[in-house]
Amino acid sequence: MIDRKNESYSTKKAIGYGIGQFSDTIVIQMFNMYVFTFYFTLVIKDVDLITIAFIIWALWNSINDPMMGALSDRTKSRFGRRKPYIIISIVPLCLIILFLFTPPLGSINLSFIYLIIMIILFDISYTTYDLNYASLFPEMFKDLTERSKANAIKQIFTVLGLIIASVIPPFLIGKLDEPANFSNYSFAAIIMMIVTFGGIIFLVLFGIKEKKEFSKDYETAPSFLNSLKMSIKNRSFRYFIVANLAYWYVIGMLPMIVPLYGSYVLHIPEEESMLLGLLLGSTFISAAIFMILWRFIALKIGMKKGYMLSFAVFIVTLFPLILINSMEIAFIIFFLVGIGLSGALLFGDIVLGAIIDQDELLTKTRREGGYYGINALITKLSTILVILTINLVFRTTGWKVFSVDPTGIIGVEVGLKILVFLFPAIALGIGILAIFKFPINQEKYEQIKVDIEALHNEKRNSINSK
pLDDT in tens, 340-358: 999 988 898 889 989 999 9
Residue 203 contacts residue 23 (beta carbons within 8 Å): yes
pLDDT of residue 336: 95
Q: How far apart are CA 195 and CA 198, in angstroms?
A: 5
- Does 464 have pLDDT greater than 80? no
> pLDDT-based confidence at 112, cuts 50/70/90?
very high
- Does 2 have pLDDT greater than 50? no
Q: How far apart are CA 463 and CA 75, in angstroms?
A: 18
> pLDDT-based confidence at 404, cuts 50/70/90?
low
Instruction: Report pTM.
Output: 0.80
Please state, rounded to an integer, the average pLDDT across all residues of the chain. Answer: 87
pLDDT in tens, 234-271: 999 999 999 999 999 998 898 888 888 888 888 877 66
- With b meaning 16 or more CB within 10 Å and e meaning fewer, what string describes 160-190? bbbbbbbbbbbebbebbbeeebbebbbebbe
Please, what are the domains in the chain? 11-210+223-464 (1.20.1250.20)
pLDDT in tens, 45-62: 888 999 899 889 888 877
Residue 101 contacts residue 126 (beta carbons within 8 Å): no
Q: What angle do CA 334, 337, 342 make, to 5 degrees?
A: 130
> Among 129, 132, 12, which Cα is nearest to 72's?
132
Residue 170 contacts residue 33 (beta carbons within 8 Å): no
Q: How far apart are CA 323 and CA 149, in angstroms?
A: 37
Count the Cβ atoms, other than its own, within 10 Å of residue 326: 12
> pLDDT-based confidence at 5, cuts 50/70/90?
very low
Residue 384 contacts residue 54 (beta carbons within 8 Å): yes
Q: How far is the CA of 144 from the CAs of 62, 235, 356, 431, 446, in angstroms?
A: 31, 20, 13, 21, 9
What stretch of H or E contains 153? helix 144-173
- The whole-angstrom distance between residue 220's C-alpha and the CA centroid of its chain comes to 29
Where do the H-state alpha helices sit in 234-326?
A: 235-264, 274-301, 303-318
For 2-11, 110-119, 154-163, which range has the lowest pLDDT when averaged over its residues?
2-11
Residue 256 contacts residue 33 (beta carbons within 8 Å): yes
- Does 337 have pLDDT greater than 70? yes
> pLDDT-based confidence at 8, cuts 50/70/90?
low
